[in-house]
Amino acid sequence: MNYVYIEPDECKGCRLCVHFCPNNCLTIGSQINQLGYQATIFRSDKCTACGICYYVCPEPGAITVHSGEDVIPEELKKGASFA
């Protein structure tokens, strides 16, 4: 399973990852993070782990791309999105 983890308190809501994701796997969340921004949320099973979101993100450590992970985070098993 491919997925993207977005560290909510590192995201500044610039929307670059949302704009450039070829499969529309990312969206802007409604919650405000500690920095006062609406952080991006990963919501899709169409992720190909291409890494475009990671490369366009200006914030180091905000996005981690996982490709073909055998271990699925508990949050994803429960159907939650990373926010």
Tell me whether residue 82 is in a domain: no
Nearest to 62 by CA among 3, 1, 2, 9: 9
Q: According to the model, what pLDDT value does residue 68 have?
A: 80
User: How many distinct structural domains can be found in the chain?
Assistant: 1
Tell me whether residue 83 is in a domain: no
State the burial class of residue 45 (Cβ atoms within 10 Å of its Cβ: 0-12, 13-18, 19+).
exposed
Range of the structural domain that residue 57 is part of: 3-77
Q: According to the model, what pLDDT value does residue 63 have?
A: 96
Residue 42: strand pairing partners: 26, 82
Length of the chain: 83
Do the beta carbons of residue 18 and residue 28 sit within 8 Å?
A: yes
Tell me whether residue 23 is in a domain: yes
Q: According to the model, what pLDDT value does residue 69 have?
A: 59
Tell me whether residue 63 is in a domain: yes
Kindly report, residue by residue over 58-80, the tens digit of the pLDDT.
Answer: 999 999 998 885 555 555 555 54
Kindly report, residue by residue over 15-36, the tens digit of the pLDDT.
Answer: 999 999 999 999 999 999 999 9
